[in-house]
Structure 1
Amino acid sequence: MSIKIKDQPFYIQSTAVLLGIVLLIYIMSLLTDILVPLAFAAFFAILLNPLCNWLQQHKINRALSIVMAMLLAIFVVAGVFYFLSTQVIQFGEALPMLEKKFSLITIHFKEWVAGSFKISVEKQDQMIKDTLNNSQAIVGKTLNGVLGTLGIIFLLPVYIFFMLLYKTLILNFLYEVFSEENSKKVGEILSETKGAIQSYIVGLLIETTIVAILNSTALVLLGIKYGILIGCIGAILNLIPYLGGIIAIALPVLMATVTKDGYSSQLGVIIAYIVIQFIDNNILVPRIVSSKVQINALMSIIVVLLGNQLWGLSGMFLSIPFIAVLKIIFDRIDDLKPWGRLLGDNIPTRHLGEKWRNRRTKSIVSS
């Protein structure tokens, strides 16, 4: 006689679920180097799938259509990197002058700190040296992260090609794993998942492009040197929640400090970026990025932090589409629907406790 978990007391059910989650997270952490490239490849394969289907409809072989779609994507990415590299070259030509000016500002700042806080310049230098020594481990982690990212870049084309090539095989497997009576639910989940991921990634690209244009325009109008480069870098950093926005503002403020006298330019940069962030957070993200990924703000913050803890920078990027897929699955399974509602952005006007209490009161009065 088999005993079902659902028939057990709540504390046994919750313990079993908790152990399952802990085991899953441990495996995901252990297999980071394998799972992260596969996750990115799955998202990009879904993004390129409509183009591959369109090419196949025009009598092009499946393998050739996949190669053509990937080459187009690589061409677009290469064009963006070429544009940024030309800006970086111009920045490199003026680097000696900027270093000289920055050193002069640093000396003045140290003298101000020594006069205001009675900390000698020598002691400040020693504090900076100690900080740099303590940050060597962080630099090492960053280098490992960069190497891991390069590994992802080299593996991505291979994974994307085979995922698109064996798309039918993978879909058939997903249908066959579940019983035939659940095929409708499986089809709905797969269709909504594909739509959510495509909408999210395309929306993210559109949002980044608009923010890059707004940043660059504002910096050029304010007369900040290399405004186009810094504006584009700021838009890319904006993809990293929280920390990215802070660094994006710090870069143009630092450039204005190094290249201009006074503080009016720095103030102008801060005001301009606050306005752009307001437009981004209240207009672009809700209407472009989050139109299909309907996750409430609280869960978004928690999930992004958890993703960072699990997979670092890659986890922060993957967390929102991943939780959107989970919500789609939760909404289709009766026992998991409360979790789907918890993740969603539909705020109820009344809580169920009040509703049930009123219902009990009415039944007592009527009896």
Structure 2
Amino acid sequence: MTKGKQILFYSTLSVVGIYFLFLGLSNAKGFLAPFLTAIILALVVLPLSRKMERNHINRTYASLINTLLLFLLSLGFLVLLSLQVRSFINDWPKIEETMTPKVEQFKNFVFDHTPMTKNDLEQSDSGSGIPFVGSGSNRGKQALGFFSKSIGFIGTYLLTLIYIFFLLNYRKRFKEFLLRLFPDEKKKQVKEVVRKSAEVAQDYLLGKLILIGLLAVVYSIGLGFSGVSNFILVSIIAALLTLIPYVGNIIGLSLAMAFGYLTSGEMGVLIGVLITFTVSQFLESYVLQPYVVGDKVDLHPFTVIVVVVLGGALWGVIGMILAIPVMAIVAVIFQHIPPLQPFGFLFSRKKSSD
């Protein structure tokens, strides 16, 4: 086989392999997404579990306590979120009353300055699928779909907690399994890779959680003074969205502007929201991010963007959230395997020799 044919053959083989890899990852979302989430969350509470075990608490009990702690924290967040959503629903008549004149003004502007007519708008509205609005049969189907998705979410949620317990309780067994896959002369290097992989995920996620809490407080103060209704809900969602790099901040700002303007209809609220997010982004970029999170993840900014986009394309929001910690672990592994070190250099922020 000539050199050109070899290049063509291996290039084609690589493209086909990558295609089937991502196809398999997409199809395995139901298993891999909760399992990877459990691994990341288990790494977050691992230091606390170790501290309990050093204080003579049985490993099984320590693992169970930490799993229950994560359950209670997540349950508390869901309860707070549901209360805020309920408050928003109760304010819906006020929102309709405030926004109806403005919507009519916008429609008139569109009719006067674009070729669109009222008939076009009515046809568009009749074909839109708004949840629980329409014929009785459609409402029944939508309610059944919502119920099925809720059951699926609860099942995945509980399965993730079960994974966390077993990962914490049997972590030494899993570590021993990894060590047995390699010869004795490689075991020291494997231990170092496992240690660094766990550390990079722990440091990044713990720093991110602290950052989210601080941002939620800053957002709440600013949006509360700005007069945004349901500002606690908006602040929590906007802070959590920072888990998604770059995109999350834009979505959070859009949500805050929508909630604030929909409820009040006042331009002063929009100005307050813009000031709040401008100040918050300054604090996050120049104060909170460097000191709270710092350089916990050695990933190039371009790599971050690519893996976040790929994570979103494969698994949606959960894929975008898991993309950075998973990629950080992959980069650590690549940097310690000689044949893959060029990829580790490509993914990292290390400067080139020239």
TM-score between the two structures when normalised by the length of structure 2: 0.85
Instruction: Find the aligned partners of 2:82 and 2:162 in 1 and give their Cα distance.
Output: 26
- Cα drift, residue 12 of structure 1: 5.4
Listed one character per residue, the Cα deviations across residues 143-170 of structure 1 (whole Å, up to 9, x for unaligned) are: 6876654332121111111122221111
Question: Is the CA contact (8 Å cut-off) linking 2:211 and 2:288 kept in structure 1?
Answer: yes
| 2:223 is the alignment partner of 1:212 | no
Flag the 1:21–1:256 CA change in 2: closer, same or farther, 3 A. Answer: closer
Aligned to 1:63: 60
Matches within 5 A, 1:149-164: 149-164=153-168
Unaligned runs of 5+ in 2: 131-137
Equivalenced residue count is 338
Q: Give the one of 101, 106, 109 matched to 1:104.
A: 101
- Cα drift, residue 16 of structure 1: 4.9
- Larger RCO of the pair (alpha carbons < 8 Å, separation 6+): 2
| 2:267 is the alignment partner of 1:263 | yes
Structure 1 counterpart of 2:113, one-letter code: S
Flag the 1:282–1:306 CA change in 2: closer, same or farther, 3 A. Answer: farther
Instruction: Find the aligned partners of 1:145 and 1:320 in 2 and give their Cα distance.
Output: 27
Q: Give the one of 22, 33, 37 matched to 2:34.
A: 37
Identity %: 30
Listed one character per residue, the Cα deviations across residues 310-357 of structure 1 (whole Å, up to 9, x for unaligned) are: 222221111111111111011111221111111111233x53xxxxxx
| 2:169 is the alignment partner of 1:165 | yes
Q: Give the one of 334, 339, 345 matched to 1:335.
A: 339
Q: Give the one of 88, 93, 105 matched to 2:90.
A: 93
| 2:192 is the alignment partner of 1:192 | no
- Cα drift, residue 132 of structure 1: 4.0
Instruction: Find the aligned partners of 2:274 and 2:126 in 1 and give their Cα distance.
Output: 30
Flag the 1:252–1:19 CA change in 2: closer, same or farther, 3 A. Answer: closer
Aligned to 1:252: 256
When structure 1 is superposed on structure 2, of 86-95 and 316-325 the one drifting more is 86-95
> CA RMSD, aligned part only?
2.8
Aligned to 1:308: 312
Q: Give the one of 112, 116, 128 matched to 2:113.
A: 116
TM-score between the two structures when normalised by the length of structure 1: 0.82
Instruction: Find the aligned partners of 2:273 and 2:167 in 1 and give their Cα distance.
Output: 44
Matches within 5 A, 1:9-20: 14-20=11-17
Question: Is the CA contact (8 Å cut-off) linking 1:110 and 1:124 kept in structure 2?
Answer: no
